[in-house]
Amino acid sequence: MGLPGTRILLVDDHPLFRAGVRRILESDATLHVVGEAGTAEQALSLLRSTPASLLLLDISLPDQSGVDLLPRLRESYPNLRVLYLSAHPESGFGPPLLRAGAQGYLNKQCTAAEILAAVRCVAAGDRYLPDPVRAQREQPDTDALTPHRRLGSRELQVFVRIARGLAPATTAAELNLSVKTIRSYRRRILEKLGLRSDAEMAAYAVRHHLLDSAIH
């Protein structure tokens, strides 16, 4: 007989961070951490043997980005709720990941109470973004004021790396893409944002606080 309540799988490559989050979650008797994984492949392997109703997922994993893992999860586990807990800024990465099929997004700088609130919200069948980001999305001119919201999650990953000054080859290696693909993304990003150079991309990223958190 299975445990009552929400069965959670933690996916993050830092064991100490997972241990801290596990303690927070298990302070609620209705939340049960049924497994932990440090890579995308470990997560998929655990899901095949350990039923879970909610995946608490980081973006930066050593073998595959949590962004790339999402379509595989949606295909194989359509009823699994996915809540991202990542160092990437919520305002940039949250909305496109929700559009791609995630149920929530939270920055790692959040409090324990915010983690519990987000998990409970997603477990109940709702979608979660922090209040300031949700309010910003509801403003009628949000897309016009912040064009980066029109970028997809993969485009955002490439954009932030270019803005940080990483070379195309380095970005390609980190994201398991070809240099040609990175250059194609760059052209598309410049067009969508109405920018002309890497320097303008960097200035845009600073202006919109997209480099506030560590990006891996």
| Amino acid code (one letter) for 201 | M
Of 191, 210, 209, 190, nearest in space to 200 by CA: 190
Residue 53 belongs to domain with CATH number: 3.40.50.2300
Distance between CA atoms of residues 191 and 195, nearest Å: 7
Residues 192 and 103 in one domain: no
Domain membership of residue 1 (yes or no) is: no
Q: Is 212 part of a structural domain of the chain?
A: no
- pLDDT, one tens digit per residue, over 159-178 is 988 988 889 999 998 888 89
Number of domains composing the chain: 2
Cα 66 to Cα 170: distance, rounded to the nearest angstrom: 19
Determine, yes or no, domain membership for 216. no
Q: Is residue 154 domain-shared with residue 119, that is, in the same domain?
A: no
Residue-wise pLDDT for 128-155, tens only, equals 987 656 545 544 444 445 788 788 878 8
In a domain, 214, yes or no: no
Q: What is the structure's pLDDT at 1?
A: 38
CA atoms within 13 Å, Cβ hemisphere of 70: 25
How confident is the prediction for the chain on average, in pLDDT? 86
Residue-level pLDDT at 96: 83
Q: How far apart are CA 44 and CA 14, in angstroms?
A: 18
Q: Radius of gyration over alpha carbons of the chain, in Å?
A: 17
pLDDT digits (tens, 9 = 90+) for 53-99: 999 999 888 888 888 899 899 999 999 999 999 988 777 788 888 88
Tell me if 101 sits within 8 A of 82, measured CB to CB.
Answer: yes
